[in-house]
Amino acid sequence: MNFPYLDAHTHAQFPAYDNDRDAVLARAREAGVRMVNVGTTAKTSEAAVALARAYPELCFATVGVHPSHAMPSSYHDTQELGEPFNNSRELLNGEVFDPVFFQKLAADPSVVAIGECGLDFSRVGDEATREKQRALFLAHMKFAKEAGKPLMIHCRAAFPDLLRILTTHYQLLATDDPGIIHFFGGTLEEANDLLALGFSFTFGGVITFARDYDGIVRAVPMDRILSETDAPYVTPAPYRGKRNEPAYVVEVVKKLADLKDTAVGELAAQMRANASRIFHIA
């Protein structure tokens, strides 16, 4: 089957889809959308690989630990972790990045990147927790280098630190296409610095209803752009108010094409080529 679109960062393996996952994937297939399901914990990484094995024509996976899971937390995202339960390891202790566990997952041919890793200081005020996130990100960088796979990076309210780590440990990055900056929310100057390091960017549903990202989208070269949904989050127009899903990435591609002043088909073809180059997928 022909798949003109790719949702390069989504989470169809999350509990948010436990009641209708097959239907969600069927709608993606009908819309011509393949997807990269991104791991955020050991459990969701394992689930992403399992989903890719079950739907090899439709799904790829990434494996890693989201920076927000580097610390104990009282917050429980039921869309990601399921219904709250007592003595949750993710809540009480934070998530541990176990290289042996993740090495076994990363060896699966469906795994196209390492992450979702990075830095998220949006809810973090203390330096000790920030340092835990920095150490966790560096562990992912080393692991990705050993695995020979690109990084899938999450960064929020922490771009100066992210750039400092990436430049200080530049030897750990692949010389070509070291990875993806997902849901970029930094400045144009920071985007240019990341482009100079070889990174590409995914843009999602927020560009369909907010104008804050227009300048960044126009500035990023076509060969460095991929489309995403980050489903079940940040649903694009015209589906605002509904749970997001991979099929909706088509709306993101339409808006990207509008902002880049190019035809939807031309941009979709370019992004397929980008994905092939970055993720080494056919």
**10-67 per-position pLDDT tens digit:** 999 999 999 999 999 999 999 999 999 999 999 999 999 999 999 999 999 999 999 9
CB 17 within 8 A of CB 82: no
Confidence of residue 74 (pLDDT cuts 50, 70, 90): very low
Confidence of residue 77 (pLDDT cuts 50, 70, 90): confident
Q: Average pLDDT of 198-205?
A: 98
Stated pTM of the model: 0.95
- Distances from the Cα of 161 to the Cα of 56, 128, 267, angstroms: 37, 14, 32
* CATH code at 5-279: 3.20.20.140
Q: Average pLDDT of 155-161?
A: 97
pLDDT score for 202? 98
